[in-house]
Amino acid sequence: MLSFPYMNTSFRVFARLSSVALIATSLFGAMPASAATISAGDLIKASGQAVYYYGTDGKRYVFPNERTYFSWYSDFSTVKTITDGELAAIMIGGNVTYKPGTKLVKITTDTKVYAVDAHGTLRPIASEAVASALYGSDWNKKVDDLPDAFFINYSVGSSVTAASDFSPASVAAAATSIASDKSAAIPTAPAPTTPATTTPAVTASYTLVASKTSAQAGDMITLTATAQGANLSRVDIFFDGTIARSCTFSPCTTDVTIPISNTKSSYATYAKFMMVNDGTEQRDLTIDITTATSSLVSVKLGQSQVAPGQNYSIITEVDAGIAVLRIDLLLNGSIVKGCTGGIRLCQFSDVVPGGIGSTYPVTAKVTDTIGRIYQSKTIYLTVGTSDTPSVTVDTGKTAIYAGETIDVTVSASDSDGIASIDVTKDGAVLKHCVGAQPCTATTGPWSATGTISFAGKATDAKGNVGTADTISITVMGK
């Protein structure tokens, strides 16, 4: 999991654990002790300084610290004042957790960094690249320390291993209020019998959500069934026709794994809600099985353009992080060669089909030893009047910190020989090399955060020019 031992973020806890509350008086002055009309969802206080969230169960909920409060509210302008007697009559129901999607958090005695998901669920972030993709290049400035004493207010969910596993904007938009986020933690109940309090009407709702709706064989998916405003007796979560979990509470959460021996294009899952009065509700969801493009599988052509009757070649290399079972090379959607035996380099050569103007997509698919499929990006082989060099560009890394330099290497090959190679940025040549040896340019240091892009081109002995796909790297703040 992602950890940051160099970080030392901190903030001030307003009071002792036994009585932690947010101080609002300093921002809007002392408030009169006369009673106000309050409703579920209001912010309330009495003559003291502490501000509470008034739940739908008629209880008050404590903000453990100021950063938790400001993840939900921008100021104290909506706080209502009631009498000390009325406040004392309202029991404390628990602590408020961070609003989902707004911050990354870590506890003071552990280096793991978590995203805050719905219902107080902490999702471990797997890498700095995932953190940057979700929260921007300055993600490390968006991490709050969470005191150990408040960690028990949260539960730990599945890891976020890719940006597609978690959407900060979506979970933040779904958390329309503290009550909606806490769900079963704040059930609907009659409000206390104080003269100035009213109870809003609540409409029952039922949802089934998945941590992701597309997956590969072997992937783990978290399913969450939630009933709000319902007199729930039991909820059963089904995956592929079998009960994955049964709960007598909401939200009900379970992890399921896509079968390794997968032969389906999708899996059906549903939640069946059963009420005390024998009523039932069902919510359905489909998990699509996809083959995602992976940077762990590279594919390149000996030459991207060849003349009619000339040989073309496909070369695929697989990262050491994949336990390879089989490599398939595909031309125009059909397998032209399969490599087995756990090798990581698969090559194929043949006479190019078709006449001038023909274009063929080229991909590589890798199956690992547990059945996962990894697919390379798609490149294109073109039949032309003459051949052009095959060109690749490599930066060795996808992200650097501000102040660092980076080596950009452009390589090329051609049956007619390579006359020269150029390393380029935004169309400008950073370095020109004569001959077929790879051309490397050291560039930087880069001080501004953001994205920078590099490319390359090569000229063969006949004067034909080939270019490489642009590759981008991210410059992160320190």
Q: What is the pLDDT of residues 325-357, one digit of tens each?
A: 999 999 998 999 999 988 888 999 898 888 888
The answer to whether residue 47 scores a pLDDT higher than 70 is: yes
Mean pLDDT of 119-135: 90
Task: Pick the last residue of a domain from 358, 383, 408.
Answer: 383
The span from the first CA to the last CA of the chain, in angstroms, equals 20
Do 271 and 373 lie in one domain? The reply is no
Structural domain including 241 reads: 204-289
Query: Does some domain include residue 190?
Result: no
Query: Does some domain include residue 225?
Result: yes
Do 86 and 67 lie in one domain? The reply is yes
Rounded to whole angstroms, the Cα distance separating 49 from 60 reads 15
Q: Is residue 352 within 8 Å of residue 308, measured between CB atoms?
A: yes
Do 60 and 178 lie in one domain? The reply is yes
Do 461 and 319 lie in one domain? The reply is no
Query: Does some domain include residue 4?
Result: no
Q: Write down the H helix ranges in 383-448.
A: none
The answer to whether residue 114 scores a pLDDT higher than 80 is: yes
What's the length of the chain? 478
Lowest mean pLDDT among 16-20, 53-57, 198-202: 16-20
Query: Does some domain include residue 126?
Result: yes
User: Among 56, 26, 28, 25, which residue's Cα sits nearest to residue 42?
Assistant: 56
The answer to whether residue 263 scores a pLDDT higher than 80 is: no
Rounded to whole angstroms, the Cα distance separating 350 from 348 reads 7
Task: Pick the last residue of a domain from 185, 215, 235.
Answer: 185
Do 154 and 273 lie in one domain? The reply is no
pLDDT value, residue 328: 94
Do 245 and 112 lie in one domain? The reply is no
Do 48 and 165 lie in one domain? The reply is yes
Where residue 191 falls among pLDDT bands split at 50, 70, 90? very low
Q: At 323, which CATH number?
A: 2.60.40.10
Query: Does some domain include residue 195?
Result: no
The answer to whether residue 423 scores a pLDDT higher than 90 is: yes
Do 375 and 394 lie in one domain? The reply is no
pLDDT value, residue 28: 38
Q: Is residue 233 within 8 Å of residue 276, measured between CB atoms?
A: yes
Where residue 25 falls among pLDDT bands split at 50, 70, 90? very low
Query: Does some domain include residue 12?
Result: no
* Share of residues in the chain with pLDDT > 90 (%): 26
The answer to whether residue 420 scores a pLDDT higher than 90 is: yes
Query: Does some domain include residue 145?
Result: yes
pLDDT value, residue 202: 55
Do 461 and 333 lie in one domain? The reply is no
Do 239 and 172 lie in one domain? The reply is no
* Residues 6+ positions from 73 with CB-CB distance below 8 Å: 43
Task: Pick the last residue of a domain from 127, 153, 185.
Answer: 185
Do 62 and 114 lie in one domain? The reply is yes
Query: Does some domain include residue 191?
Result: no
* Residues 6+ positions from 239 with CB-CB distance below 8 Å: 223, 256, 267, 269
Does residue 247 sit in helix, strand or coil?
strand
Domain count, the chain: 4
Do 22 and 94 lie in one domain? The reply is yes
pLDDT value, residue 35: 54
